[in-house]
Copies of this chain bind each other. A is one copy, B any other.
Amino acid sequence: MSHPHPGLGAPPPLPVEGLRIIPLGGLGEIGRNMTVFEHDGRLLIVDCGVLFPETDQPGVDLILPDFTAIRDRLDDIEAIILTHAHEDHIGAVPYLLRERADIPLVGTRLTLALMVAKLQEHRIRPVTLQITEEERHSFGPFDLEFLAVNHSIPDAVAVAIRTSAGLVLHTGDFKMDQLPLDGRLTDLGGFARLGLEGIDLLMSDSTNAEVPGFVTSEREIAPVLDGVFREAGKRIIVASFASHVHRVQQVLDAAEAHGRSVCFIGRSMIRNMGVARDLGLLRVPPGLVIDARDIESLPDRNICLVCTGSQGEPLSALSRMANRDHAIRIEAGDTVVLASSLIPGNEESVYRVINGLTRWGAKVVHKGVAKVHTSGHAAAGELLYVLNATRPSNMMPIHGEWRHLRAHAALAELTGLPAERIVLAEDGMVVDLVEGQASITGAVPCGYVYVDGGAVGDVGESSLKDRRILGEEGFITITAVVDAAAGKVIAGPDLVARGFSDDRAAFEKVRKMVADGLADGMRNGMTDAGALQQLVRRIVGRWVSDTYRRRPMIVPVVVEV
C-alpha cells in the first residue's frame, strides 16, 4: 500500500473467543487477494494471489502480498483455501510455498488442477486436498463449509468459516448469473441458510459495486458470436482469457455450428483447455479441434483460431499478428474478436493491437462495439441480493480499490446495516471479530513485494523511483581520472549519455566545461574525489537545465590515482 496507517499500531492480544482477520492483499487494489484468519493460535489463509503492476511500477513482473506478518508463524498455518484458479487468487502460492512447502492447498478439482500445473513450472509438488461445494471440512479450529459460486472460471467456491467466535462468509469472486451455461448457480439458497443461522461477518466481492444493475448472462454472448460467425467470410480469430472455459465453450459451439475447425494458439490456452476437457468442463466435439500445422490445408472460411492476447500483451500471438510478426498473416476480410474485458491500464496496448489489425484490413469486434464480453463480478443489484439474503451482523467489503469498497459499503447501508457495522479496511489492517462485533484494532507491516525477473523483494521503492527518473530523462555519466596532488586531469572527462538525447555532438561543449571546472577546482585546493564529483554534477546539471530544461540522472565518477 502506498498509504501508511497513521494511528494504528500493533493490535492488542486476541481474546480467546475472538477471530482475527488480516487482509494482506485485495483491499485497496484489484489483485493479490489474500486473507489470514487467526483463531485459537492457529492460522487459515484464504487465497494467495498476485497483483499486476501499474505503469509507475516499471519493470516489475508481479506484486506479491507481504508475508512479513506471518513469516514467523508459518507452522501455525492449517491450510490455504483457494476459492478459484485466477492468478489474483493463486499466483502467489508458489512464493509462499517456497517458505514452507507442505502447507495444504485446498480447492475444487479445476482449481487444484490449474494450481498444480502452475506449481510444476516452479518445480514444487504441493500437498493438496480436493473439496467440492456443500462439503464441510475442519482444519484445526476452523470448521469450513464450501458453497458453489458462479464466476468467469468454472468450479469457484465461497467459504463459510465457523469458529467459536462466530460465522464468517467469504464469497471469493462471484456473480449471480441466473442462467449459467453449466447450470452451476451461485448458491444463494445456501447463503440464505447461513443467514438464518446468523452470519457474524460477511466478506463480499466489491469489484463491480460501482456498476448499477445486473451483469448480463454469459449465455447472451452466444447470439452475438453467432452473428459474427455468420457474417465472417474469411478467418475468425477469437482472443480471450486462457481460463475462461465458458467463453471458449461458446466459441467452440459457434465454430461447430458454422463448420469451422478450431485451433488453440499459445501455451496457456492449449494447456488450460486440455485440463478443462479432461475434467469434463469443456465439451469438445470430436474432430473440431485441429493442430496448428493443419491450418494451411483448410480454406479461410473453415478456420477459427482461439488465442490469448486480448489485453494487448506485446509478446502475445495477437500483438505479433497485429505487427505482421507472426506466421498467421492478417489479411483484409479476417475477423478478430476480443471476447474479454479491457482491464484499466491496458487501453493503449489494446487499441494499438486493434489499430494494427484494422490497418491490415481485419474487422475487429470488441466489447466497445458488440456484446462479446460480460463481467465475472456481481454488479450492485446482485450484491444487494446477497446482502439481503445473508443479513450479516457485520460486513466488510473485499476485493476492490477504495472506490469499489466505498460503493459496496454504501449498498450495505442501504439494506439497513448500521454504518458502525461496516468495516472499511485496507491491506494490513487487523480486524477482530469479538463478541459479535467486527472492528479495526491495529495494523501489521504490509508493503508491496515486487517480483522482477528471477528475484523477489530486492527491487523496492528506491529502485522504482530511479527507474521512473531514468525512464523519463535518461542519464549522463562523466568519468575523469585525476592526479589531485599534481592538480591534473589525467584522463577524460568522458561522457556517456543514454536516453537523454540523440544529439551526441552537444556533449563536446560540456566536456570542455567539466575539464576546465576540474582544473579550476584542483587549483583551488579541492582534492577530495567526492567534492570533485559534486563539482562535476553541478556543472553538468546546470548545463543540462539551461540548455534543455531537463533533469537526467547525473552520475559523476572521479577517480584519483
What residues of chain A have their CB less than 8 Å away from a CB belonging to chain B? 3, 28, 54-56, 58-59, 210, 212, 344-345, 347-348, 351, 354-356, 358-359, 364, 368-369, 401-403, 406, 452-455, 458-460, 462-464, 466-475, 477, 479, 481, 490-492, 494, 496, 498-503, 506, 547-550, 553, 555, 557, 559-561
Hey, which chain B residues are within 8 Å of A354, CB to CB?
A: 402-403
Q: Does A358 lie within 8 Å of B403, measured CB to CB?
A: yes
Q: Does B481 lie within 8 Å of A472, measured CB to CB?
A: no
Q: Does A474 lie within 8 Å of B470, measured CB to CB?
A: yes
Supposing A58-B471, A59-B472, A453-B550 touch, asked if A494 and B557 sit within 8 A by C-beta, the answer is yes
Q: Does A547 lie within 8 Å of B462, measured CB to CB?
A: no
Question: Which residue of chain B has its CB nearest to the CB of A345?
Answer: B348
Question: Which residue of chain B has its CB nearest to the CB of A401?
Answer: B355
Question: Which residue of chain B has its CB nearest to the CB of A360?
Answer: B402
Question: Which residue of chain B has its CB nearest to the CB of A351?
Answer: B344
Q: Report Cα–Cα, A347/B490, bound state, in Å.
A: 53
Extra 9 A-B pairs, beta carbons < 8 Å, given A59-B471, A459-B500: A59-B499, A345-B347, A355-B401, A355-B403, A458-B501, A466-B498, A470-B470, A470-B498, A496-B557
A430 to B: closest C-beta gap in Å: 18
Q: Does B491 lie within 8 Å of A348, measured CB to CB?
A: no
A320 to B: closest C-beta gap in Å: 15
Q: Does B452 lie within 8 Å of A548, measured CB to CB?
A: yes
Q: Report Cα–Cα, A458/B212, bound state, in Å.
A: 49
Q: Does A358 lie within 8 Å of B406, measured CB to CB?
A: yes
- Listed A/B pairs (19) with beta-carbon separation below 8 Å: A59-B472, A59-B499, A354-B402, A355-B401, A454-B548, A455-B501, A455-B548, A462-B502, A463-B501, A466-B498, A467-B470, A467-B471, A470-B470, A470-B471, A470-B474, A477-B496, A477-B555, A479-B559, A491-B560
Interface centre among A403, A471, A475 (most CB of B within 10 A): A471
A82 to B: closest C-beta gap in Å: 27
Hey, which chain B residues are within 8 Å of A344, CB to CB?
A: 347-348, 351
Q: Does A479 lie within 8 Å of B557, measured CB to CB?
A: yes
Hey, which chain B residues are within 8 Å of A351, CB to CB?
A: 344, 401, 403
Our pick among B358, B459, B462, B475 for the contact of A402 (Cβ within 8 Å) is B358
Hey, which chain B residues are within 8 Å of A496, CB to CB?
A: 477, 555, 557
Question: Which residue of chain B has its CB nearest to the CB of A559?
Answer: B491
Question: Which residue of chain B has its CB nearest to the CB of A59?
Answer: B472
Q: Does B467 lie within 8 Å of A474, measured CB to CB?
A: yes
Q: Does A549 lie within 8 Å of B454, measured CB to CB?
A: yes
Hey, which chain B residues are within 8 Å of A561, CB to CB?
A: 481, 490-491, 561
Q: Report Cα–Cα, A548/B453, bound state, in Å.
A: 6
Q: Report Cα–Cα, A500/B453, bound state, in Å.
A: 11
Q: Does A501 lie within 8 Å of B459, measured CB to CB?
A: yes
Interface centre among A452, A470, A561 (most CB of B within 10 A): A470
A432 to B: closest C-beta gap in Å: 22
Question: Which residue of chain B has its CB nearest to the CB of A462?
Answer: B502
Hey, which chain B residues are within 8 Å of A58, CB to CB?
A: 471-472
Our pick among B28, B210, B494, B553 for the contact of A498 (Cβ within 8 Å) is B553
Q: Does A460 lie within 8 Å of B364, measured CB to CB?
A: no
Q: Report Cα–Cα, A550/B60, bound state, in Å.
A: 11
Q: Report Cα–Cα, A470/B356, bound state, in Å.
A: 26
Q: Report Cα–Cα, A183/B467, bound state, in Å.
A: 51
Hey, which chain B residues are within 8 Å of A358, CB to CB?
A: 402-403, 406
Question: Which residue of chain B has its CB nearest to the CB of A314?
Answer: B56
Hey, which chain B residues are within 8 Å of A210, CB to CB?
A: 368-369
Q: Does A54 lie within 8 Å of B402, measured CB to CB?
A: no
Our pick among B54, B459, B477, B499 for the contact of A348 (Cβ within 8 Å) is B54
A298 to B: closest C-beta gap in Å: 27
Question: Which residue of chain B has its CB nearest to the CB of A406?
Answer: B358
Question: Which residue of chain B has its CB nearest to the CB of A483?
Answer: B561
A366 to B: closest C-beta gap in Å: 9
A363 to B: closest C-beta gap in Å: 8
Q: Report Cα–Cα, A492/B492, bound state, in Å.
A: 16
Hey, which chain B residues are within 8 Å of A454, CB to CB?
A: 547-550
Q: Report Cα–Cα, A553/B477, bound state, in Å.
A: 13
Q: Report Cα–Cα, A469/B466, bound state, in Å.
A: 13
Hey, which chain B residues are within 8 Å of A498, CB to CB?
A: 463, 466, 470, 475, 553, 555
Q: Does B477 lie within 8 Å of A472, measured CB to CB?
A: no
Hey, which chain B residues are within 8 Å of A502, CB to CB?
A: 458-460, 462-463
